[in-house]
Structures are given as structure tokens and as C-alpha cells.
Amino acid sequence: MGCFGFLKGMMVLFNGIIFLAGAAILGVGIWVKVDSGSIFSFLGKIDNVPPELNQVLNVGYLLIAIGALLLIIGFLGCCGAIRESQCMLLMFFIIVLVVFIAEVAGAVVILVFRPLADQLLFKLGTAAVENIRKDYGKNPDTTGLWNTTMTTLKCCGFYNYTDFKNSSYYVNNNNQFPPQCCPSYSSPCNETVANSTTTITGCFPKIKKLIDDNTVVIVAVALGIAALEICAMAVSLILFCRIKSKMG
């Protein structure tokens, strides 16, 4: 009974955390959908966005779905262990197994269709540069979003400072670039100054480098999640069998 009680307690604790995390993610997803000033609403205003990127606009729904799924998993695992319900534990095992299989399948798809992902990123870059040249310095939402992004990440444009050429800001400010492109200079940020600022790169290369530098961490987190899912399935199966033997 000692081992059974320990596994039961860990099941309750683990799934209680999952339940709370699901509630938080669900709340964020709902907030994203009701906040018209969010980045996802901004993406909807970009012209010439490739059809594949329209899925980005559904991130709010994705968060809601993930949050709801985690709520269900947490509820089934927690209540199933407390009430010693075979039905709940079996449903918990099946749902976690389906999620695990979907994650493995997703990883395989990403590896197989890597060239498609590169093409998608190229289309995203084209759309982002067109958006900068059309709306930066004219549309307050676009200007504010890019300024916040560049200030936070310490970057300039999507690829580099040349993305701002022929934009409203560039034309209306005597062919100058945003100050974020020349942070170390007090003089106007013209092409000569921007070109000499080698420490400031585009936001896309900055994000890509950040991901590349943390590949090991990302893989470790993914493997850790997979290990937790396997452990959760094993514990639920052990509890299911023990409860079944007790009732038999």
C-alpha cells in the first residue's frame, strides 16, 4: 500500500499542476481572441500574407484547445487517482497516448518537410518587408509594433536596415532609418551610419540565432516532456491494474 499510496499522491500532484497550467493557457487563449490590439490582429492587416500563414491567426484558438486539453487531462488524472476510478484512469492513459503519438508524428513531419518550412519563412520575410515599406511611419499600429519588437530584441527590420528604404518613415525623415538601427550614435541614422553599425542585425536573424543557440535546451525540454508523458502513462496503468486487482 505504501508504493500504491505514493504513486497515487504523485498522480494527484502532477495532474493538479497540469490542471492549473491548462487553466492559465486557456485564459491566455481567450485573452488573445478578445484583444483586438494584439499581435495576431496586427498580422491580419498585413497584405500579401501567404495562405499558409493564415494559420498563425488561429493561435488564440490553438491556445484555447491546448488549455482545454490540459484541463481535461489534469481532471481525469487527478480525480481518477483520488476516486480510484478505472474509467477515468483509462481515459487519461488513452488521451496522453494519443498526444504522445501526435507529438512524435509532428516531429517526423517537421524533419521530413524542412525544405517547405524554409520556403514558408521566405514568404513570411517578403510579406514582412512589404508591410514595413507600406505602413511603417504611417500606420500607428504597425509602427508601434515594430518599434517595440526592435527595442526589445535590439534588432533592426526583418532582415536589416534596408527593409525601411522607401517606407513612409524613410521618405518623411530625409532618408533616415529608425533610431533602433543606430543605437550607439547620436547623429541622424542615415545609410552610412546604419551600414557601419555591425552589432545590430535584423529581427529574423536575431530570433533564428536565439533558437539555434538554444537548440540543445529546446530538444532537452521536448525529451523531458516526452519522458513525463511516458511516466504518466505508466503510473496510470499501474494504478488501473492495482485498482482492478483490488476490486477483483
The reply to whether 65 falls in a domain is yes
In this structure, the answer to whether residues 151 and 190 fall within a common structural domain is yes
pLDDT in tens, 169-201: 998 988 899 988 888 777 788 888 888 876 788
Residue 147 and residue 81 share a domain: no
Over range 5-32, report the average pLDDT: 86
The predicted structure's pLDDT at residue 54:
46
Question: Is residue 123 included in any domain, yes or no?
Answer: no
> Residue 123, class by beta-carbon neighbours within 10 Å (0-12 exposed, 13-18 middle, 19+ buried)?
middle
- Are 101 and 60 contained in the same domain? yes
Residues 239, 203 share a domain: no
- The reply to whether 153 falls in a domain is yes
More confident residue, 216 or 39: 216
Residue 83: domain span: 2-111+232-247
* Residue 165 sits in the same domain as residue 87: no
Alpha helices in the chain (DSSP H): 2-34, 39-43, 59-83, 86-112, 114-135, 140-153, 168-172, 191-196, 203-213, 215-247
Average pLDDT for 102-114: 79
Between 161 and 36, residue with greater pLDDT: 161
Taking residues 147-163, what's their average pLDDT? Answer: 89
Looking at the chain, the whole-number percentage of residues with pLDDT higher than 70 is 86
Domain membership flag for residue 11 = yes
